[in-house]
Amino acid sequence: MRRGRILATLGGAVILVVLGVAASQFNHKALQEPNAIETYVATKIKRWLVSRLARESLPPEPPAAAISIANGRMQYGGSCATCHGQDGVTPTPLGNALYPPTPSLASQQVQKYSNRELFVVIKYGIRNTGMAGFAHIHSDEEIWYLVHYVRSLGEPSD
């Protein structure tokens, strides 16, 4: 019994040392692009967290009418254009300096989110990505307008 406890303690100590060495080698600089494994894991975790939050009770979504999209466009200019660019398609230098870089809102990366997921992302933000939450700036109705505007950016133009 005593021998097992000693081995478990030694094994735990070795694991802690290995983790400590690995953590000391980790580069926390925002300017360096992460490796493929870090990117893959972070993307999977982000998608899972957003999906989980979107399953919670959310305020009802108003119809995505032209007026809703127009209202979203007005809200967008004051809050989102700083990073995503005036057109929502061409991120600004500030947006490109973030990691991950600010995506085009017309991209498949953004458009594959459901409306509920977009609502959650806009309202609460995504920690450690540069995406701020706007719950203290916009009402739920205004956030739904932003969702409709973002969704309209992914629609093919005539």
The CA angle 109-79-61, to the nearest 5 degrees, is 65
CA distance 32 to 9: 37
Q: pLDDT band for position 23 (50/70/90)?
A: low
pLDDT at position 158 over 60: no
Tokens of 86: 């005036």
pLDDT for res 7: 81
pTM for this structure?
0.77
- For the chain, domains (ranges, CATH) are 36-153 (1.10.760.10)
CA distance 60 to 145: 12
pLDDT for res 111: 96
pLDDT at position 129 over 80: yes
pLDDT at position 27 over 70: no
